[in-house]
């Protein structure tokens, strides 16, 4: 699944809890296309649009299907053949040369589990904030009714009826196969049910801690937020460490690193950048984090300076210095791009190494989006 799309759409739903939307997801691509499976776009009942699933050739037509989906409450699949180039085809000037299948469904923040009226999206929100992953499985066509979906996690607070559990059992092996695959989105045909199911993995945002609120951190925080890191900036200067300079940061903590680290334990799977521009302060932070290392630890400055910070001892493999991929970057903006490229690379490597837990179904949704 395209994680950028999920987080942006998720954020929009949460900020507009009373609004009803139609969610469009690319579920199948035969040939080439501007975007791939898992790409999402949100259409509001008020005519608002968020995101894109093509280079602009499909969105207008999809908007005509929105009212039908919202009025009926039933999902539907729309297919676009971009492989032909005659004037009456969707291939006109598209240049995509692919056949694209788009699944549209009604969705809103206040959706409830039909049998016990638990609100699903706030529940998923809580799970993600607790660092837990969620797998969404939805039927998009076949013998079973389109729109039926299940949510799986290590959390088993919500259960379904006996008939629900029979379906859960038949899907369980596909859930575990999908979880082990490392993929974010996959379409499976389930022979036992004679239907196609879309599997999507929702994972918590990776935590990025930045020690230092200097001007060089500003473009870095903005980029990190755009690629879906949850960013915390720590700096003792209230005049710098605030929303004015870091509007996209999730948290700005005005505190000395020594005080903050005395009471805070950073998650082992977190990402940390040390960039206070103060040798003694950097040394304290590095000493502390070497005792309880995060997944990624980067230190701003030349490697020789970092070696001096650890008193000329050998640097562990998880310590990156200098930070950023070697692209010849100059200035805060270019350096931020090189740093984010390295963080994204590290995140991809981490996802391939992740072992996912046993997933159990915690919620069942009927068709038509009536969760």
Does 88 have pLDDT greater than 50? no
Say which residue the tokens 């032909």 belong to.
Answer: 84
Q: Give the best-scoring range by mean pLDDT among 39-48, 80-89, 206-215, 260-269.
A: 206-215
pLDDT at 370: 44
Kindly state the average pLDDT of the residues 330-342.
95
Q: What pLDDT shows up at residue 203?
A: 86
Question: Could you give the CA distance from residue 243 to residue 290 in angstroms, rounded to a whole number?
Answer: 30
Q: Please give the share of the chain, as a percent, with pLDDT higher than 90.
A: 52
Of 55 and 321, the one with more pLDDT:
321
Nearest to 124 by CA among 140, 139, 107, 141: 107
Average of per-residue pLDDT values in the chain? 86
CA atoms within 13 A on the CB side of 46: 6
Q: What's the predicted TM-score (pTM) here?
A: 0.76
Which residue in the block uniquely carries the two structure tokens 């082990």? Answer: 180
Q: How far apart are CA 160 and CA 154, in angstroms?
A: 16
**CA–CA separation, 103 vs 141, rounded Å?**
10
Instruction: Give the per-residue pLDDT at 353.
Output: 66
124-129: average pLDDT:
86
In the three-class reduction of DSSP (H, G, I as helix; E, B as strand; rest coil), residue 153 is classed as strand
Residue 87 above 60 pLDDT? no
CA distance 197 to 282: 50
Task: Give the per-residue pLDDT at 69.
Answer: 94
Does residue 332 have a pLDDT over 60?
yes
Q: Is-contact 276 285, C-beta < 8 A?
A: yes
- pLDDT at site 120: 80
Helix extents (H) in 91-217: 120-129, 162-181
Segment 342-362 mean pLDDT: 79
pLDDT of residue 289: 95
Give the largest Cα separation in the chain, rounded.
71
Residue whose tokens read 């919500």? 158
Q: Say what the pLDDT of residue 278 is.
A: 96
Assess whether the previous peptide bond of 191 is cis (omega < 30° from 0).
Answer: no
In this structure, are residues 199 and 38 in contact, taking their beta carbons and an 8 Å threshold?
no
Model confidence at 138: pLDDT above 80 = yes
Confidence of residue 92 (pLDDT cuts 50, 70, 90): very low
Confidence at residue 238, expressed as pLDDT on a 0 to 100 scale = 97
Residue 174 is predicted with a pLDDT of: 93
Q: Which of 34-48, 116-130, 149-163, 226-240 has the lowest mean pLDDT?
A: 149-163
State pLDDT tens for residues 266-322: 989 899 999 999 999 999 999 999 999 999 999 999 999 999 999 988 888 889 999
Residue located via tokens 């069942």? 364
pLDDT in tens, 203-215: 888 999 999 999 9
Q: What is the rounded distance in angstroms from the CA atom of residue 47 to the CA atom of residue 67? A: 9
User: What are the backbone dihedrals phi and psi of residue 208, each rounded to the nearest 5 degrees, phi first?
Assistant: -115, 120
> Of all residues in the chain, what percent are helix, strand and coil, respectively (each to 5)?
35, 25, 40
The average pLDDT across 143-150 equals 85
For residue 39, the tally of other CB atoms under 10 A from its CB is: 24
Q: What local confidence, expressed as pLDDT, does residue 368 receive?
A: 47
pLDDT for the residue numbered 117: 64
pLDDT of residue 168: 81
Least confident of 31-35, 40-44, 196-200, 331-335: 31-35
* 62: enclosing H helix or E strand: helix 59-72
> Is 204 in contact with 132 (CB distance < 8 Å)?
yes
pLDDT score for 1: 41
What pLDDT score was predicted for residue 369? Answer: 44
Q: Which residue has the higher pLDDT, 305 or 55?
A: 305
CA angle 98, 102, 107 (to 5 degrees): 160
Mean pLDDT of 7-24: 90
């Amino acid at each position: 699944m395209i994680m950028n799309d999920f987080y942006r759409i998720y954020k929009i739903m949460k900020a507009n809890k009373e609004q009803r939307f139609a969610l469009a997801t690319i579920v199948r691509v035969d040939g080439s296309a501007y975007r791939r499976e898992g790409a999402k776009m949100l259409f509001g009942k008020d005519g608002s649009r968020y995101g894109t699933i093509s280079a602009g050739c499909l969105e207008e037509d999809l908007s005509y299907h929105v009212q039908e989906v919202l009025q009926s409450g039933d999902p539907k699949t729309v297919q676009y053949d971009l492989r032909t180039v005659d004037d009456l085809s969707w291939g006109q000037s598209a240049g995509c040369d692919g056949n694209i299948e788009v699944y549209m469904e009604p969705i809103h923040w206040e959706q409830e589990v039909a049998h016990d009226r638990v609100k699903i999206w706030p529940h998923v929100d809580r799970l993600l904030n607790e660092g837990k992953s969620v797998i969404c499985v939805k039927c998009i066509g076949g013998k079973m009714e389109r729109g039926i979906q299940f949510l799986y996690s290590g959390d088993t607070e919500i259960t379904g009826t006996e008939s629900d559990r029979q379906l859960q059992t038949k899907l369980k092996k596909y859930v575990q196969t999908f979880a082990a695959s490392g993929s974010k989105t996959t379409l499976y045909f389930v022979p036992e049910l004679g239907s196609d199911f879309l599997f999507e993995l929702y994972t918590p945002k990776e935590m990025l801690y930045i020690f230092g609120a200097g001007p060089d951190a500003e473009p870095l925080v903005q980029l990190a937020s755009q690629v879906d890191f949850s960013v915390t900036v720590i700096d003792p200067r209230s005049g710098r460490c605030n929303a004015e300079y870091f509007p996209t940061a999730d948290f700005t903590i005005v505190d000395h690193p020594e005080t903050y680290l005395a009471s805070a334990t950073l998650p082992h799977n977190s990402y940390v950048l040390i960039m206070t521009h103060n040798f003694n302060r950097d040394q304290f932070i590095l000493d502390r984090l070497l005792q309880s290392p995060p997944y990624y630890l980067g230190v701003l400055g030349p490697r020789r300076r970092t070696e001096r910070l650890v008193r000329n001892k050998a640097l562990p493999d998880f310590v990156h210095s200098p930070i950023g991929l070697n692209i010849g970057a100059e200035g805060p903006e270019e350096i931020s791009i090189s740093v984010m490229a390295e963080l994204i690379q590290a995140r991809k490597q981490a996802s391939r190494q992740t072992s996912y837990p046993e997933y159990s179904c915690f919620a069942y949704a009927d068709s038509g989006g009536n969760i």
